Amino acid sequence: MKPALLMWLAWGVAFGAEAHGFEERYDLPVPLVYVIAGACACVLLTFVVAVVWMRRPKAVPTNPISSTSNKPTATSRHSLWFWLAKGISFLLFALTLAAALWGTGDPLMNLAPTLIWIGWWVGLSFAVIFVGNFWPLLDPWRTLFDLLNGSAKMLGLKRGLCLNWQWSARIGRWPATLLLLIWCGLEVIYPIAMSPFKLGCLAMTWSVINVTGMVCFGRDVWQRHADVFAVYFFTLGRRVGNQPSAGSEGPIAGQAGFVLAMLSTVLFDGLHGSATWGYFEGALKAWMPQWLDTNGYVAGTLGLLTVWLIFVTAYRLTCQSCFALMQPTRTLTSGRQMARLFLPTLIPIAAAYLIAHNFSNLLIQGQTLASLLSDPFGRQWDIFGTAKFYPDIGLVDAKLTWTIALVAIVGGHVISIWRAHRLALSVGLSGPHTAMATLPLTLLMIAYTGISLMVLAAPMVNDAP
């Protein structure tokens, strides 16, 4: 394998955010400021079109992303494909865990880092965005618990392993939110991807925590509130208009924090690899003793939390402004309820950020799975005859990556504006009051559009002269 290719792959595995940077850069035909202005104008135009043309739809639930019922249908439970998919997923999880713990320590030659970060975290996220949430079918921890619980029932325990402890409503989804921030920190700040063994230890630790949580609180309760991956894939694949009834479940504490963590962590991923991050880190080190943060972990953690808190604060203030400008209704009596109403409109933005930041990484680094699956432990095996497959790094260039990112970012915000207007109309607001109520949110979306495009443009495009 060529040294340049090895450097590219190592870069992509270790630092997902920096994988958006290319040795070649796309020369924009017009100044970047024009591109950003045009994108923001497109978002604003969507708001104007929605105000003029949209009519009140049928009522939809005011808390449309709170329920996370992921139970397979009765028909699918007896399907051969159902059990085959679960079996393959569980065996692949076991193989990945074994490769991480007992395979080579070289992250380029070990299956675990690429399969976890690229094939699963990025690849499955893309699939869920376009197909819907099928993670419950593949979830190996869910399968493991079901096997253990079923075995316990066969041995005479009528209730199985579940202790059915009560989950505090005040805690809500805050554990999942915290875990999502930690997961992002491990991906971006702490270079855990460079150590397959550490990844294996992390997977083992999470397996113990996850199964123990299901035993203590019940599988569905645990996965609804604390299983970060179950909540993440559910939220990412959720669609407005195909929701449970409004009374099926009350609001869940921390769900807004979780959705905003989905947005902020992806943006932080890109920001951490940009020149702007160097200014933040330099300012932090100016007053913090150098010995306290020799590896940049403290600065990275503070930066991640700061970006998340900025997103949370901006969203809450925006929704409070929306409520102040609207005509009160029976269903909306506070800014907190307004924030809950508009929360689903942020999901398309989270999906757009994910696509924009990881498209090139998935297509280039994902190709290496063909060779790694033939030699998962890095022992010079060739199980499927693909061990010598070399990825085509010319498959994606900076121009295509920038085009996909631009379309995704603009499209995500356009969908969000449209859905926000639709939701506002569905709760009884008249046309003029809907426009006033959604105006602050539109301004926030425009700001999101401009900032995200500036972060994305830094490593991949050259501004026009």
Distance, first Cα to last Cα, the chain:
38
* Contacts (Cβ under 8 Å, ≥6 apart) of 2: none
C-beta of residue 456 within 8 angstroms of C-beta of residue 464: no
pLDDT digits (tens, 9 = 90+) for 445-454: 999 999 999 9
For residue 319, give the nearest of 451, 237, 234, 423 by alpha carbon.
423
d(CA 88, CA 94): 10
Query: The domain containing residue 245 runs over which residues?
Result: 3-462
pLDDT digits (tens, 9 = 90+) for 264-274: 999 998 888 77
**How crowded is residue 128: how many other Cβ atoms within 10 Å of its Cβ?**
21
Helix (H) or strand (E) holding 27: strand 26-27
**What Cα–Cα distance (Å) separates residue 312 from each residue in 259, 319, 370?**
10, 11, 40
d(CA 443, CA 325): 14
Torsion of CA 101, 107, 110, 112, to 10 degrees: 60
Checking DSSP bridges between strand 26-27 and strand 461-462, what pairing results, if any? parallel
pLDDT means per 10 residues, the chain with 465 residues, are 39 40 71 93 94 67 48 54 91 96 94 94 95 94 95 88 93 96 91 87 96 96 96 83 39 91 91 77 73 76 93 95 78 82 93 93 92 94 90 85 94 94 80 81 94 87 68
**Which class for 117: exposed (0-12), middle (13-18), buried (19 or more C-beta within 10 A)?**
buried
Of the CA atoms within 13 Å of residue 449, those in its CB half-sphere come to: 30
pLDDT at 273: 74
d(CA 389, CA 369): 9
Torsion of CA 207, 208, 211, 217, to 10 degrees: -130
Our count of domains for the chain comes to: 1
Of the CA atoms within 13 Å of residue 393, those in its CB half-sphere come to: 16
**DSSP class of 157:** -
